[in-house]
A and B are shown apart, each in its own frame.
Chain A
Amino acid sequence: MNKWFRISVLLILPLAAVTVGLSLGSEAISPLEIFSCIPGGECTLRAEVLLKLRLPRVIIAMFAGAALSVSGAAFQSVFRNPLADPFITGVSGGAALGISAAVIAGMGPVAVMVMASVGSLAAIAMIYAVSAIRGITGNGLVLSGVALSFIFSSSVMLIFSMARSEDVHRIIIWLMGDLSYQGNIPVTWICLSILTAMFILFMFHRHLDIISMGRGFSLSSGVSDFELRMVILLASVLAALAVLLGGIIPFVGLMVPHLVRMVAGPDHYRLVPLSAVAGGSFLVLADAFSRSVIVPYEIPAGVVTGFCGGMFFLFYVIKNRPEI
Chain B
Amino acid sequence: MNKSISGYYIFIVIFIALLFLLFSVTGGSPARSVSGSIKRVVSLSSSLTDQVNDLGAADRLVGITMFNPGYRGDAVVVGSYVRPDIERIISLRPDIVLVSDEDSIQHSGPAQHFGLRFFRSGRVFNFDDICRSYVQLAGILGRGNYGEQRVELYRQRLELVKRPPGAPRVVFLISVKPMITVSGNSYINSIIESAGGINVFKNEESAYPILGMESLLLADPDAVITMLEGDRDFLAAILKKYSRARFIRNNNIFSSGDGSIPYHAPGRYVEAVETVSSLLVGIKYE
Contact = CB atoms under 8 A, between A and B. Distances in A.
Interface stretch (A118-126, A149-157, A190-198): A190-198
A188 B23 contact: yes
A180 B110 contact: yes
A56 B14 contact: no
A10 B23 contact: no
A10 B6 CA distance: 12
Contacts, number: 137
Interface residues of A, number: 57
Contacts of A298: 79-80, 83, 85
8 contacts: A56-B26, A162-B210, A165-B178, A182-B109, A187-B22, A188-B26, A195-B15, A202-B8
A296 B28 CA distance: 24
A3 B6 contact: yes
A297 B79 contact: yes
A41 interface: no
A109 interface: yes
A269 B8 contact: yes
Given A164-B206, A183-B28, A25 B114 contact: no
Interface of B: 6-8, 10-12, 14-16, 18-19, 21-23, 25-26, 28-29, 77-80, 82-83, 85-88, 90-91, 93, 105-106, 109-110, 112-114, 178, 180, 206-208, 210
B109 A109 contact: yes
A49 B206 contact: no
B77 A296 contact: yes
B90 A45 contact: yes
Q: Residue among B12, B15, B90, B113 with the most chain A CB within 10 A? A: B15
Contacts of B82: 169-170, 173
B88 A10 contact: no
A188 B15 contact: no
Interface in A248-303: 269-270, 273-274, 276-277, 291, 295-298
B84 to A, nearest CB: 8
B278 to A, nearest CB: 28
Contact of A25 (B23, B87, B180): B87
B109 A45 contact: no
Given A45-B91, A173-B82, A59 B22 contact: yes
7 pairs of A and B residues whose beta carbons are closest in the complex: A182-B109, A273-B11, A296-B85, A7-B7, A26-B87, A59-B22, A273-B8
A198 B9 CA distance: 12
Given A3-B7, A277-B11, A53 B22 contact: no
A238 to B, nearest CB: 13
B15 A276 contact: yes
A188 B79 CA distance: 28
A11 B14 CA distance: 8
Given A183-B109, A191-B22, A298-B83, A49 B91 contact: yes
A14 interface: yes
Nearest to B180: A165
Interface in A94-134: 109
Contacts of A181: 26, 110, 113
Contacts of B180: 165
Contact of A183 (B23, B78, B110): B110
B88 A26 contact: yes
A53 B90 contact: yes
